[in-house]
Structure 1
Amino acid sequence: FQLWRHGDRSPSTTFSSDPIQESSWTFGEEGFGVLTPIGMEQHFNLGRIMRSRYVDSGFLSQQYRAKEVKVFASKIVRTQVSAVSNMIGMYGSSNGSLGGISYPETPGWPTGFIPVPAQILEEASNALMNCRRTQFMLSELTRLTGITAILDTLEQFFEPLFCESIHFPSSLFSWCPREVFDAVIDTFKVIDDLKAGVGLEDAVEGVDLSYQIPLLHGGYFTQMMKKAMKNEREEGVKYYAVSAHDVEVSAVLSIFGLKSLLYKGRPNFAASILFELWTDETGNEFVKVLFRNGDSDNLRVVTSLIEECDGDFCPIDVIQMYITRFNPGDLFELCAKPLKVATRAA
């Protein structure tokens, strides 16, 4: 089971005095909030790593098989394009695809390209995009810490500045001092950690945000992982991939106590966490957890960083304990509930 963040993208909006407005973002599909060619390349690279690990090793078939591979994405287009780019890396040109069998030998068709579908997570997207409970938690976080009171103001600067530092650095730093840029980035690392529940381990006035935040934004995906493990046993589906956002990646890592140990702030573009199900010679099941924080990082085993896990392989009962503890139930029902006094589940 794999969960990744989408690749590099343009900002969702910007402030009125920004010299770089939407018309300047001509990359990819053009405009605000879309995946850029850099983002496509990031996921193509990740897909090639996955091919090396799972296809070349013989775990998955050389050609794409719908019964083996399931890919999901949110309703936001950049996650869908990230999924397509990733699958090109896994099953694209010269990767075992056969003309006339895996793809049409039609003039103009990209050689080796197989359109692997990404199913849209309608329920999770609809529930979480309009979730009242998220606002309850942000309001409570503001009340308890005071730091997110400036969130709305800073957000309109952080996102465009960060994206412009990648695509328009000369223009950006011609008017924005680097020390100001660095201060905004550092401030958002603190805010994003808090929004993932990091640093909020001690309940304040009965509210345990270190539990409530990951429960809402990550619990749905750990339940998907539970289903994926069951389907691998019963139906032969071997590889599940979910193309999502930084919030979901951080939330899932927070569930297992990994987020604060792996990075501060937001995960890099195309960051990915994997949960592999292994069985030993006596039939005992274990989970191996791996993480890669984008193109600048190597895929590495992080299982031993989970508190109850020793070594690279963790007994599945330990992982199931976390999955059970962070079961959100029906997302629509959870989102409709106000944030009440709540304790961490046993």
Structure 2
Amino acid sequence: MVSAVSIVVLIALAGVVTTYSDGTKELVFVQTLWRHGDRSPTKTFPTDPYQEDAWTFGGGGWGQLSPTGMRQHLNLGKMLRAQYVTKYNFFPTKYNSKQIYVRSTDVNRTIISAMSNLLGQYGQNDSSSVAGVDYPDVAGWPVGYVPIAVHTVDDDTDHLGNMEATCPFRQQVWELAKTSAEVKNFTNSALVQSVLSKLTNYTGMAVDIDNLWIITNALYIEQIYFNDTIRQKNTWFTDDFFTQADRVNDQIQLFQNGIFNTSNIVNGHDVGVLTRKVRGGPILNDMVMHMNIKLSCQGQTTPNCTWINNLKNYVYSAHDTTIYAFFSALLIEEYAVKPAGGYPLYSAAVLIELYVDSVDKKPYFKMIYHEQDGSGFKDITMGIQGCPQNSAYCDLDILRNFAQTIKPDQPIDQWCFTNLNGHAGSAGVSMLLIGVILALQNNIFGLF
């Protein structure tokens, strides 16, 4: 005879039990995408008085996580623990290697951000972990600190987390976008030309819309660390001019993420859709794939389902560009919150919760945003087209359909090395997919 305890164990192994419910909706899976914390610039301009030797924290050099950045992710980790361990009782009380998987881009600042975050979740001296079991019981080891694996792949091939991974096709699409009337009119406007011309004169480099970000990003960070001297050492720097240049760069980033004010068809190609496919498409489809596998494996005990049945938390430790591409893929780029628009702030995080309704048996998702250190969690689900305005939950099919519209035409590691000139124009296909989404959302055929 099978005991009640055995049944509970079997059900748990099958992945169909959750410890948190909101009414009839049961939480079964969480995926998190966050930006690293505060850092040094990744590069700068030739005349900048603050060159690489000015940045000594985090091991020193370009693009390193600062102690402030480490603290920001420690704080976020504590918030995640308070939400999903203490409040929801969904994540395990102590680190369980089968229930969390952390993937980082292969750069120091994202790896160390992940380590700092996990320290906040599972590395505190709060008696949740046991010396000699979860960490060494030896002098010199921080009491309570549990090291947790952070996985990565080569940065040049990381098309999920690194929006600058090697991808000639993406560059071809951007070059095509720059020939469109909308981008050319913006680039050739008197304001933009004035900003680029002045910066070319000031910085010792030829500044265009492709490298303006280097200057605005360096100046943004230098205002945090060298605000007392930046105006004396860079005599041309003023708050007004920086704001002007930063706003120009914000608009460029919108274009580079496939967000245009008009339907931007160039040579038969919908450059907006193509851009969103090649940038945010891979990570959105990766998340949806995980949710589909999680759902299809419910109640299954086959070996290929064991990993996902056990898994409760999948984490991507990445960049502002990653979150921005993800937002743009869903056409909710307005949730980027840097003042005057632009990219997500340090330690920004998007959480996608997957639920199953115990009554209608359908899957739903909830999307939550953490804007920056010191912010709480904000529900942004209703910002997605087709999601209800009077509910925190949305039918998973809405997310699936968005993922389908911007799914790369081929596996991304192959598509990146195809030639745009041999790529069929996508405008007609894009309009068809948009029509399908509208039909599904509004059930205009009465079929769904």
Q: TM-score, normalised by structure 1?
A: 0.93
> Is 2:231 the counterpart of 1:151?
no
Counterpart position of 1:114: 146
Report the AA paired with residue 294 of structure 1.
Q
Distance 1:285 1:325, change over 3 A: same
Question: How many Å separate the matches in 2 of 1:200 and 1:333?
Answer: 30
- Aligned runs of 1:1-346 on 2, under 5 Å? 1-56=31-86, 57-95=88-126, 96-122=128-154, 125-126=157-158, 129-144=165-180, 145-146=183-184, 147=186, 150-174=208-232, 175=235, 176-200=237-261, 202-205=263-266, 206-233=268-295, 234=297, 235-263=309-337, 264-282=341-359, 283-310=361-388, 311-328=391-408, 329-339=410-420, 340=423, 341-343=425-427, 344=430, 346=433
Q: Quote the offset at 1:273 in angstroms.
A: 0.9
2:405 maps to amino acid: R
Change (3 A) 1:153 1:62: closer
Does the Cα contact within 8 Å between 1:232 and 1:238 map onto a contact in 2? no
Tell me which amino acid in the other structure corresponds to 1:297: S
- 8 Å contact kept, 2:327–2:335: no
Give 5+ residue unaligned stretches, structure 2.
Answer: 1-30, 188-206, 298-308, 434-448
SS at match of 2:208: helix
* Cα contact 1:200–1:208 (8 A) shared by 2: no
Does the Cα contact within 8 Å between 1:5 and 1:271 map onto a contact in 2? yes
Asked if structure 2 preserves the Cα contact closer than 8 Å seen for 1:201 and 1:208, the reply is: no
Q: Which amino acid aligns with 1:91?
A: Y
Determine the C-alpha separation between the residues in 1 that align with 2:282 and 2:379.
Answer: 23
The runs of 5 or more residues in structure 1 that have no matched partner are none
Matched letter for residue 354 of structure 2? L
Aligned equivalents of 2:374, 2:122: Cα separation in 1: 23
- 8 Å CA contact 2:324–2:336 kept in 1: the answer is no
Distance 2:216 2:155 in 1: 29
- Count residues in correspondence: 346
Q: Which has the larger radius of gyration?
A: 2
Partners of 1:209 and 1:296 lie apart in 2 by 37
User: Any idea what SS the aligned residue of 1:104 has?
Assistant: coil
- What CA RMSD, in Å, does the superposition of the two structures yield over aligned residues? 2.0
Identity %: 28
| C-alpha distance in 2 between matches for 1:290 and 1:156 | 30
Q: Provide the C-alpha distance between the structure 1 equivalents of 2:158 and 2:91, rounded to a whole number of angstroms.
A: 32
The 1-side partners of 2:123 and 2:294 are apart by 24
Cα shift at 1:137? 2.3
Inter-CA distance 61–290: structure 2 relative to 1 (3 Å threshold):
same
Q: Over residues 19-44 of structure 1, what are the superposed CA-to-partner deviations in whole Å (9 max), with x where a residue is unaligned?
A: 11111101112101111111111111
Residue identity in the other structure for 1:338: N
Would the aligned equivalents of 2:32 and 2:314 in 1 still touch at CA under 8 Å? Answer: yes
Q: Which runs of structure 1 show a deviation greater than 6 angstroms over 4 or more consecutive aligned residues?
A: none
